[in-house]
C-alpha cells in the first residue's frame, strides 16, 4: 500500500481491500452518516464494492479517498482526500471534491482539519490543481467550520437529494497554509 502524505500525526495512504473491516465500522454507523442521507453500508460485500470503486478512481483519475492512520499506533481513523467527481452536482461536473469521514471516537481531535490541509497541499502542490470544491449538509456545522477554517469560501446553498447543502470552493491563489 502506498503512503501518499505524512503529517505530524497521520499517515495518509491508499485504501486497500484489507481495510474492509475498519471501513465497514465507519460506514455502518448511523451517527457518522447523520448528515450523509443516513445511507449506511449494510454488509461487508457492499463495503468491498465501495473499496474497489475507490481503487478504480486511483487508476482512472490519479486520486481518490485515502485512509488516515494514526502514526503512533497504526490505528485506522477514517478517510480523507480528494475525489474527481464526474456526475453533475450543483451544476458542476468533472471537479475535485475534498472530503473526510472519521470514526466517532476520533471526532473533535483535529484529524479532519489536519488531513484536509494535507489534502489541499497535495492538490495544489503535487497535482497543481487550480481549484478544489467541497459540499456539506447545511446542518453539519462542524464540517462547515472545518472547511472555512482551512480556507474554503462559501459560495451558495443548493438542494442535494432534497437536503440543503453548502457549496464551497478554494482557488490555488487563495490557499495560504
H-run or E-run covering 143 = helix 141-149
C-alpha cell, 103:
470514526
Give the number of other CB atoms < 10 A from CB of residue 69: 22
The CATH code belonging to domain 3-129 is: 3.40.630.30
pLDDT band at 38 (very low <50, low <70, confident <90, very high): low
Is the pLDDT assigned to residue 134 strictly greater than 80? yes
* pTM exceeds 0.85: yes
Per the model's pLDDT, the better-predicted residue between 157 and 34 turns out to be: 157
Q: What is the pLDDT of residues 44-62, one digit of tens each?
A: 999 999 999 999 999 999 9
For 43, half-sphere exposure in the C-beta direction (CA atoms, 13 angstrom radius) is 1
Contact 82, 119 (CB under 8 A): yes
Amino acid at each position: 500500500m502506498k503512503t501518499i502524505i505524512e503529517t505530524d500525526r497521520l499517515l495518509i495512504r491508499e485504501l486497500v481491500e484489507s481495510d474492509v473491516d475498519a471501513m465497514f465500522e465507519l460506514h455502518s454507523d448511523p451517527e457518522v452518516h447523520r448528515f450523509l442521507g443516513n445511507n449506511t453500508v449494510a454488509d461487508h460485500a457492499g463495503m468491498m464494492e465501495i473499496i474497489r470503486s475507490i481503487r478504480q478512481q486511483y487508476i482512472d483519475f490519479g486520486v481518490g479517498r485515502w485512509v488516515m492512520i494514526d502514526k503512533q499506533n497504526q490505528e485506522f481513523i477514517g478517510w480523507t482526500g480528494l475525489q474527481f467527481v464526474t456526475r453533475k452536482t450543483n451544476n458542476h461536473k468533472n471537479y475535485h471534491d475534498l472530503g473526510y469521514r472519521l470514526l466517532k471516537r476520533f471526532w473533535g481531535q483535529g484529524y479532519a482539519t489536519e488531513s484536509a490541509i494535507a489534502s489541499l497541499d497535495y492538490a495544489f502542490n503535487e497535482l497543481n490543481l487550480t481549484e478544489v470544491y467541497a459540499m456539506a449538509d447545511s446542518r453539519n456545522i462542524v464540517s462547515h467550520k472545518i472547511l472555512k477554517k482551512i480556507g474554503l469560501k462559501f459560495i451558495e446553498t443548493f438542494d442535494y437529494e432534497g437536503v440543503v447543502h453548502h457549496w464551497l470552493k478554494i482557488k490555488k491563489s487563495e490557499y495560504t497554509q
